[in-house]
Amino acid sequence: MANSDYTILVVDDDELNRDMLSRRLERKEYRVLVASDGSEALELAGRELLDLVILDIMMPGMSGLEVLKILRQTRSATELPVIMASAKGESQDVVNALELGANDYATKPLDFPVLLARIEAQLRLKVPFESEKAADSAADSTGADMGTILLEPGAGAPAEDTEQKPVLNLDKARASSEVDGPVAGTILAEKYRLEEEIGSGNFGTVYKATHLGLNLHVAVKVLQTSLGTTMEDLARFQREGMSACRVKHPNAVSVLDFGVTATGVSYLVMELLEGRSLADEIEESGKLSPHRCMDIIEPVCAALEEAHSVGLLHRDLKPANIFLHHERGKEIIKVVDFGTAKFRDDASANNLTLQGTVIGTPAYLAPERLANRPYDGRSDVYSLGVMLYQMLCGKVPFEATDGNPMTVAMMHMNDAAKSLAGEIPDVTEAVDKVVAMALEKDPGKRLLPSELVERLREAVGPDLRQKKKNPTMDTMVLTDLPFDDETQGATEA
């Protein structure tokens, strides 16, 4: 599509800023509408077919955030991208805007080439979404079933991911040209030098990187972009950074920065984790002792309680999203990947994707979520119950022999998990009962995170494993923790 096919609304109470920006956009052949306040902006949005809005945050009367909130009641981030503009560069302003559904932000005074690149990036994402939506409508008209389940990595039967990763365009250090794909030495946003790839997933690739100003090692997660990238993908990526910023707990991964480069590349900067995932430990060990399970479940529940206290639901708890971080000879459990998280009262982050698929990994989803019923933090506890079951015996409670995720969904909703007492030597009836309480089909009868920790501690009993004093730290370190001396730095993608 040509620039002239797009209509952009510029909303700013400053006449000079408004007119200057609109003229520059018109010179790029965009159709531009202007509004001097929130009321005028909403009136134009109600009668005009807009493709993108540039919205000032600080305006007299109705603020930009209030306008955004009203817009999102009828137009999703996929349908109407909104770029917030503000003279305030504080992270909380950005978080507030992203929470309300903003697609991106720019700080005043506006750097027009950078803003233009961000506009073009949003419109590029809008084009494939419109094509995808048209295809979905055509499928619906033929009776195609869109009520499927979104399979995350590790769902259903294990399979090797051989799909070729899309290529990214990143900023080149002190050069105006771009490079195809991240390479060692590439500078991102003039701050982070990418050193090596350490992980990847459906939505992003994670790199070990160096913060140039602080000479600090960090993990940088870059959104995978391609012609198939949608606004929904970008919204999930933004939500991951926003969600993790809200959960301030030592057992939750720390997000240090979030941004979009001048070339439209979205990235998250996180603490660099060293170690391996819980999924790796289960795969290597087969099953874990009840005391080892307690080592992991207790800090996970602590992080989960903090998330729930700020109204955040994780929605995709599984062993791959629990990281066993090793720091100075000590293990610190970290909950990672808040990309599917939602705030309890956030109607914009639904249980379903735009294609009608359930968000999450079927093997770990609570019955109420699979049935698309209302849910709260107890749905995360059910996922913990599935994890605990898997940790104790080496496999999830419900598996489909045919690999069909719908079969797994029906088992979650209707079948009771097989008792582990008597089947696994270390699992007593007391421990088995705690697992069953976490896996209650009725969320009203399910344990809360703190209750799960308390009941499991009572059921497991005193920890008689040998402990020794760490000569370099005033802490106690368990001698039988399965540390791997050759682990590499990694952060869950």
Catalytic residue positions, numbered: 316
Write phi, then psi, for 377 (nearest 5 degrees). Answer: -60, -20
CB 219, CB 269: distance < 8 Å: yes
CA distance 443 to 385: 12
Rounded Cα distance between 8 and 21, Å, is 11
Q: What CA–CA distance (Å, rounded) separates 118 from 265?
A: 9
- Other beta carbons within 10 angstroms of residue 217's beta carbon come to 14
Sheet holding 330-335, edge to edge: 275-277, 322-327, 330-335
Virtual torsion, Cα 58, 59, 62, 63, nearest 10 deg: -10
Supply 16's token pair: 């000079």
Closest to 230 (Cα-Cα) out of 357, 320, 404, 111: 357
For residue 231, which of 134, 135, 125, 131 has the smallest C-alpha distance? 125
Nearest CA-CA partner of 154 in 332, 337, 313: 337
Query: Rg (Cα) of the chain, in Å, rounded?
Result: 24
CB 364 within 8 A of CB 406: no
Give the amino acid at 410.
Answer: M
DSSP 8-state code for residue 151: P
Angle between helices 290-309 and 449-460 (to 10 degrees): 160
Dihedral angle computed from the Cα positions of residues 347, 364, 289 and 401, in that order, rounded to the nearest 10 degrees = 180
Q: DSSP H helical segments within 341-448, as ranges?
A: 367-370, 378-393, 405-414, 429-438
CA distance 461 to 13: 65
DSSP β-bridge partners for residue 260? 266
In this structure, what token pair is assigned to residue 29?
């052949």
Provide the total of helices (H) and of strands (E) in the chain, helices listed first: 13, 20
SS3 381: helix
The tokens for 85 are 């503009």
